[in-house]
Amino acid sequence: MSYELGPDGRTPNVQEGRRMNIESPGMPYNFADLEPAMSRDTLVFHLLRHQRVCFDRMSAMLRGSELEELSLEDVIRVTERNPAQHTLYRYAAEVWNHNLFWRSMRPRGGGAPGGLVAEHIRTRFGTYERFVREFKEAASSHFGSGWLWLVWRAGGLEIVTTSNAGTPLVRGDTALLGLDLWEHAYYLDHQNRRSAYVSAFLDELVNWEHANRTLAELGSSPEPRVVRPRVAIEAERQIIL
Ligand SMILES: [Fe+2]
Query: What is the tens place of the pLDDT at every residue in 15-40?
Result: 444 578 899 999 999 999 999 999 99
Q: Which residue ranges form the domains of the chain, and what is each CATH number?
A: 40-103 (1.10.287), 115-237 (3.55.40.20)
CA of 233 to the centre of ligand 1 (A): 20
Which of these ranges, 65-69, 174-178, 235-239, has the smallest mean pLDDT?
A: 235-239
CA of 223 to the centre of ligand 1 (A): 31
On the question of a cis peptide bond just before residue 83, with omega within 30 degrees of 0, the verdict is no
CA of 66 to the centre of ligand 1 (A): 28
CA of 45 to the centre of ligand 1 (A): 9
CA of 131 to the centre of ligand 1 (A): 24
CB 92 within 8 A of CB 72: yes
Query: What is the tens place of the pLDDT at every residue in 115-170?
Result: 999 999 999 999 999 999 999 999 999 999 999 999 999 999 999 999 999 999 99
Query: What is the tens place of the pLDDT at every residue in 183-197?
Result: 999 999 999 999 999
Burial class (CB in 10 A: 0-12, 13-18, 19+), 221: exposed
Paired with 177 in beta bridges are: 150
CA of 98 to the centre of ligand 1 (A): 6
pTM of the shown model = 0.84
CA of 6 to the centre of ligand 1 (A): 31
